[in-house]
Homo-oligomer: A and B are copies of this chain.
Amino acid sequence: MSGLRGKVVIAQGGGPTAVINQSLVGAVLEARKFPDVTRVWGARHGVRGIVNQHFIDLSEATTHNLERVAQTPSSALGSTRDKPDAEYCQNILNVFKKHEVRYFFYIGGNDSSDTVRIVGEYAAKEGYDLRAVHIPKTVDNDLPITDHCPGYPSAARFVASAFAGANADNMALQGVYIAIIMGRHAGWLTAASALARQHDDDGPHLIYLPERQFSIERYLADIDRLYKRHSRCIVAISEGVWANRDAKGKEIPLAADLMRKAGREPEVDAHGNVQLSGGALADELAATVQQQLGIKRVRSDTFGYLQRSFAGVVSDVDAREAREVGEKAVHYACGRYESGSVVIKRVGDYAVRYELADVKAIAAKTRHMPDEFINAEGNHVTEAFRHYLRPLLGSDRPVLERLWAPAVKFGD
């Protein structure tokens, strides 16, 4: 097959990352090279821009502008939280047919891959020649098949750098430090805090992931033990513990208690997901340590939105890979006339190849941390996880050195 002439539409969906525009620019620059591509349109605010026919013509963006956009965090086209239903997907296809769009690229997470799948199926059913490719991104790193998701390494670098600084801070002024990290169902980003450790006694000393049932009693006992050993303790907690449910799907008392105590009902979004960004969880977890363990200096932070779009903390490995998945998506669609989802395959220590996976295998699935990445006690990560993450964080990581000088001895 050859000569599928028509337009490209590219869009960005879901939460932003630090390198999501690398994928956009990789795809746009590559698509502009194909003679059969008549125009490269960018949809404003994801799928909503498609159904509203709100496009900009990226065929006319300068290369210099695009290269600088690539270095800018967060979706330059705008994003959306819309999760298209059947009718919405049909409308997308109608717009594509109307304007002879033959190539559709959607940069996003699970929900976006599902949209790519449905629109592709509708086109096939109607016999409309369309190539639809999902380009992965998510700071949560929770897509299946791919070794990791573009966007995750830079967010992980932010988290590791934040904990490295917090560890130095906590050594200087001792106490307990607790930080809440993004990740509703999967603990990948929280686990990245482990890469802040350089010396054996560096924090984080404890890491709680949504993959394991959280227990307030266990949490207090862990902190008590480690605080006695180190005179300080640093704790990384996934925001997912807030939404933790017991084996029968019932809300666990901790989350309910904390919410009630903070006097608020959790905000629920269109997909039924609880909004977890509040600072109250950190406040309450800190207050509990103070009250129950009698430790005076207990501090807490909620990293919040900083971790997904901070300007200037980017893994160079992540930037390169995000660019390449965008470029490869165009090779698959415009060069080989294939549809699917681009995945990263790790083929060395450290090297990768890109492949095209069936989008059905990606859509609406969540990849949790595997058991071999979580320690037996369920309160930290393993060496295997460190080995997995280390190469992704990129080069030029911050210097963290301790003074190395003899203590002055008296009384001889």
Contacts and interface: CB of A to CB of B under 8 A. Distances in A.
A282 interface: yes
A406 B60 contact: yes
A58 B165 contact: no
Given A302-B279, A410-B53, A172 B402 contact: no
Which of A166, A279, A399, A400 has the most chain B CB atoms inside 10 A of its CB? A279
Interface string A248-269: 0000000000000111100000
A78 to B, nearest CB: 5
Interface in A36-86: 41-42, 45, 53-62, 65-66, 68-69, 71-81
Contacts of A237: none
A68 B171 contact: no
A406 B12 contact: no
Contacts of A162: 306, 310-311
A335 interface: no
A75 B171 CA distance: 8
How many identical chains are in the complex? 2
A164 B162 CA distance: 18
Contact of A41 (B55, B166, B309, B408): B408
B401 A72 contact: yes
B77 A165 contact: no
A351 interface: no
A91 interface: no
A164 B311 contact: yes
A246 interface: no
A141 interface: no
A12 B172 CA distance: 9
A177 interface: yes
A237 to B, nearest CB: 13
A392 to B, nearest CB: 16
A74 B16 contact: no
Interface in A250-305: 261-264, 277-280, 282-283, 287, 299-305
Contacts of A169: 16, 73-74, 305, 308-309
B312 A398 contact: yes
Contacts of A57: 405-408
A65 B403 contact: yes
A397 interface: yes
B81 A173 contact: yes
Given A165-B311, A399-B71, A408 B56 contact: yes
Contacts of A73: 164-165, 168-169, 398
Interface in A373-412: 397-408, 410
A161 interface: yes
Contacts of A45: 172
A15 interface: yes
Given A279-B282, A300-B277, A56 B397 contact: no
B165 A310 contact: yes
A305 B79 contact: no
A313 interface: yes
Given A164-B311, A302-B304, A311-B398, 20 more contacts: A15-B173, A41-B408, A55-B408, A56-B406, A57-B405, A60-B405, A65-B401, A72-B168, A76-B172, A78-B173, A79-B172, A165-B305, A169-B305, A264-B283, A279-B279, A279-B283, A300-B304, A302-B302, A311-B400, A313-B313
9 contacts: A57-B406, A166-B306, A262-B280, A264-B283, A279-B279, A279-B282, A302-B302, A303-B306, A311-B398
9 smallest CB-CB distances across A and B, nearest first, come from: A279-B279, A74-B168, A301-B304, A68-B401, A312-B398, A311-B398, A165-B309, A164-B311, A71-B399
